[in-house]
Amino acid sequence: MEIGQKITRPYPFTKDNFLSGFRGSEGIEDYWCLGARKEEECDGSGYGYSVTYWADAEGEVTFEILAIVEMPRKMKTRVLFKREFKHPDGKVTKHSEVKVSSLDSFKKMLAKDKPYWDYELEG
């Protein structure tokens, strides 16, 4: 891993809609939301439940590594990164927020096929 490196992974998206009334054009417009829907289901015993995540389509998330910081003493090395999301329809959303993670957690997240959740695609 090095500074400036960009790493792309799949990312779940769900479709939602809203009633638009902007500048005289009214109607229902669809748009893509980041993330997956969470569905909890009782396992039948009354004590536990199972959780499933669902997505309508898959886009991409690109992580850009801004810095790798060695911390003093026994503190773990930190990674500073930004994210950019590519929606299923091709639109790109850039987030200017800088995220921080330990190097170990960041590597573990990127080692998986799906960085945040294991999810199923509907349809």
First to last CA, the chain: 36
Give the residue from 96, 65, 84, 121 showing the smallest Cα distance to 9: 84
How many Å apart are CA 69 and CA 96, to the nearest integer?
19
Q: What sign results for the dihedral spanned by CA atoms 94, 100, 103, 107?
A: negative
Give the residue from 65, 86, 63, 82 showing the smallest Cα distance to 12: 86
Which tokens is 86 given?
A: 């590519």
Domain residue ranges in the chain: 6-121
Binning pLDDT at 50, 70 and 90, where does residue 8 land? Answer: very high
How many Å apart are CA 86 and CA 6, to the nearest integer?
14
Per-residue pLDDT of 67-94, as tens digits, reads 999 988 888 999 999 999 999 999 999 8
Binning pLDDT at 50, 70 and 90, where does residue 60 land? Answer: very high
Per-residue pLDDT of 29-56, as tens digits, reads 778 888 888 888 887 777 778 888 889 9
For residue 118, pLDDT over 90 is answered with no
CB 20 within 8 A of CB 29: yes
